[in-house]
Amino acid sequence: MLLRINSLNVQYGKTTALNITAPITIEKGDRIGVIGSNGAGKSTLIKSLLGIVNYSGSVDSTITPLDMAVHMQFNEYTDSMATKHVMEAILQTRIKKNRKLQELISYFEFEQCLNKKFKVLSGGQKQRFTIILVMMQEAELTFYDEVTSGLDFETRQKLVEKLVSWYQGREDGLCVVSHYFEELEQLTNKLLILEQGNVIAFGDKEELFNKYCGHAVIVIDNNQKNQLLIKEYEKLAAPNHLIALACHTREIESEITALLIQNDVNYKRSNSDIELIFINAKEHAAKGGIGNEKK
């Protein structure tokens, strides 16, 4: 175990920013995706565990905030010197004398940026610069808060692929805050879903998918033809332009896919769609009242 949140409450004046009442445990090697609407309490959670904001409650930990690292959404550095000098000043080491730093610079293809000032770097280069600083800490638990925010699709993909590859097989714990569901698909094995400062779901992705979506989901375009075709089948909450059909058994899945193929309807089959987990967990919480969901 790295840490266990038994209870945690953060108040900003009379407003409750975060209220966790059921235990949440982060183990070595956990890759936890933290998702929620704007203002759900995602950044507040990170700041609380790092000791940046005050909270009431109980957190058991085998590590201290000094054993944690964080990549916040927005980072700015001095523009009065080249990034290599900024990097060396922050890390208090010389690049040419530090093999691990050389490895990270090479891994993130940052060599050509070392002599540039921070302000002229692209968005992706700025993110890579901060990631190098974060990884140099070799923390037992690292938080990434919207690490690819503001980047174009191709740059985001390349950066996420680098992160996935780097942490493969390592025991470091990760908490990744992102509103890009496809990134969380690649980076995480657990989900923590927040809404209005409350935990509405926490657990393994597979377990949460089975709970809120079923054995599998068939997704098709939302149009009148398709609505009529599948009107007899159970539907899940989904984005407005899509219809998500719940398949609680393999037999139902086979029946639906045969019908769609027969009527020449394109479909996508999923058993791990994080967006559908998120939408249906929120739907479940709204019907039953938002509160902390035990694993």
**Rounded to whole angstroms, how far apart are CA atoms 161 and 1?**
27
The confidence score (pLDDT) of residue 289 equals 54
Residue 283 has pLDDT above 80, yes or no: yes
185-205 confidence digits (pLDDT tens): 999 999 999 999 999 999 999
Q: What's the burial of 105, exposed, middle or buried (CB within 10 Å: 0-12/13-18/19+)?
A: buried
- On whether the CB atoms of residues 151 and 124 are closer than 8 A, the answer is yes
> What predicted TM-score, i.e. pTM, was given to this entire model?
0.91
Residue 293 has pLDDT above 90, yes or no: no
126-140 confidence digits (pLDDT tens): 999 999 999 999 999
Contacts of 254 (CB under 8 A, 6+ apart): none
- Of 121, 103, 99, which is closest to residue 112 (Cα–Cα)? 121
Alpha-carbon distances of 293 from 106, 279, 286, rounded to whole Å: 43, 15, 13
Handedness of CA 227, 275, 182, 145 (dihedral sign): positive
| Neighbouring C-beta atoms of residue 50, cutoff 10 Å | 16
- Of 161, 170, 145, which is closest to residue 41 (Cα–Cα)? 145
- List the domains of the chain with CATH numbers: 3-205 (3.40.50.300), 214-272 (3.30.70.2250)
Q: How many CA atoms lie within 13 A of 83 on its CB side?
A: 23
Q: Which two tokens stand for residue 24?
A: 């949440």
Q: What's the burial of 37, exposed, middle or buried (CB within 10 Å: 0-12/13-18/19+)?
A: middle
**Rounded to whole angstroms, how far apart are CA atoms 185 and 227?**
28
The confidence score (pLDDT) of residue 295 equals 46
Average pLDDT over residues 59-83: 89
Work out the angle at residue 74's Cα, subtended by the Cα atoms of residues 73 and 78, and round it to the nearest 5 degrees: 150
Residue 159 has pLDDT above 80, yes or no: yes
Residue 75 has pLDDT above 90, yes or no: no
- On whether the CB atoms of residues 133 and 78 are closer than 8 A, the answer is no
Largest pairwise CA distance in the chain = 68
Q: Which two tokens stand for residue 118?
A: 């921070």
The confidence score (pLDDT) of residue 291 equals 52
Alpha-carbon distances of 104 from 44, 81, 98, 101, 111, rounded to whole Å: 29, 21, 10, 5, 10
| Residues facing 270 on adjacent strands | 217
Average pLDDT over residues 9-16: 94
| Cα-to-chain-centroid distance, residue 97 | 34
Average pLDDT over residues 106-122: 95
The mean pLDDT of the chain is 93
